[in-house]
A and B are shown apart, each in its own frame.
Chain A
Amino acid sequence: AQSVAQPEDQVNVAEGNPLTVKCTYSVSGNPYLFWYVQYPNRGLQFLLKYITGDNLVKGSYGFEAEFNKSQTSFHLKKPSALVSDSALYFCAVRDPFKAAGNKLTFGGGTRVLVKP
């Protein structure tokens, strides 16, 4: 079965400092990996995805994520955090070779608080 873990419930970072949100996954094959962000009182918004190719993927709002197959990780990063990056972040995985329909498995979410 596919699963995702986000080990940190909350990450606190000062504005201008690097931001990292951790995600590890478990699938039997090569994964499709996604990051979503949820701002207050909003739905989840797509940030970026890894399907194949370059392990470093770039997404919206200056975010990037690195796929590491040996560590089964897909950590989200931003070199310089902004106060406006304060939100809830979700990692999600799909095993494309499993007959699970189109279902993504989401992590529990990590709340990011960027302080001025």
Chain B
Amino acid sequence: DAGVIQSPRHEVTEMGQEVTLRCKPISGHDYLFWYRQTMMRGLELLIYFNNNVPIDDSGMPEDRFSAKMPNASFSTLKIQPSEPRDSAVYFCASSLSRGDYGYTFGSGTRLTVV
């Protein structure tokens, strides 16, 4: 298994532009999580899905952020418009519904908004 695949690995964009981050979870996993990591705030859970349905989006910072999971093998996190304070590393993770199963994280997307 190739693991959780995120793209792109790095993204540099100008303030005000739309940014789309992509994630392919491990086949068969029914949970998908989006996290943001910064030095100041650490690891933050943004949103998570179960069977493609958003369960908790209380961590999404504001309306500029949106996430979708159109099918079991693909999810996107979109920021529109982007701002410099959105600069961070964004991680996707997937898991099974078994309680004793941990998460598998992707390698992350490093976003820089200038």
A binding-site residues for B, Cβ under 8 Å: 32, 34, 36, 41-46, 49, 51, 90, 92, 94, 96, 101-104, 106, 108-109
B108 partner residues in chain A, CB cutoff 8 A: 42-43
Which 9 pairs between the two chains have the least Cβ-Cβ distance?
A: A43-B105, A96-B99, A44-B105, A51-B100, A102-B31, A43-B107, A34-B102, A46-B102, A108-B42
Question: Do residues A32 and B107 form an inter-chain contact, with CB atoms below 8 A?
Answer: no
7 new A-B pairs (CB below 8 Å) besides A43-B91, A49-B102, A101-B31?
A32-B100, A42-B108, A44-B91, A49-B100, A101-B55, A102-B50, A104-B103
B43 at the interface (CB under 8 A from A): yes
B48 at the interface (CB under 8 A from A): yes
A94 partner residues in chain B, CB cutoff 8 A: 99
Sample 11 A-B pairs with CB under 8 A, ordered by A number.
A42-B108, A43-B105, A43-B106, A43-B108, A44-B91, A44-B105, A96-B100, A102-B99, A103-B33, A103-B45, A103-B56
- Alpha-carbon distance A41/B91, docked complex (angstroms): 11
B75 at the interface (CB under 8 A from A): no
B17 at the interface (CB under 8 A from A): no
Shortest CB-to-CB span from A91 to chain B, Å, is: 12
Q: A-B pairs with CB below 8 Å: how many?
A: 55
Main secondary structure of the interface of B (DSSP, over half): strand
Chain A residue nearest in CB terms to B45:
A103
B82 at the interface (CB under 8 A from A): no
- Alpha-carbon distance A90/B102, docked complex (angstroms): 13
- Alpha-carbon distance A106/B42, docked complex (angstroms): 10
The residue in A32, A44, A46 that gathers the most chain B C-beta atoms within 10 A of its C-beta is A44
A92 partner residues in chain B, CB cutoff 8 A: 102
Shortest CB-to-CB span from A103 to chain B, Å, is: 7
Within 8 A of A (CB), among B38-82: 42-43, 45, 48, 50, 55-56
- Alpha-carbon distance A36/B105, docked complex (angstroms): 10
B45 partner residues in chain A, CB cutoff 8 A: 103
- Alpha-carbon distance A32/B96, docked complex (angstroms): 14
A41 partner residues in chain B, CB cutoff 8 A: 110
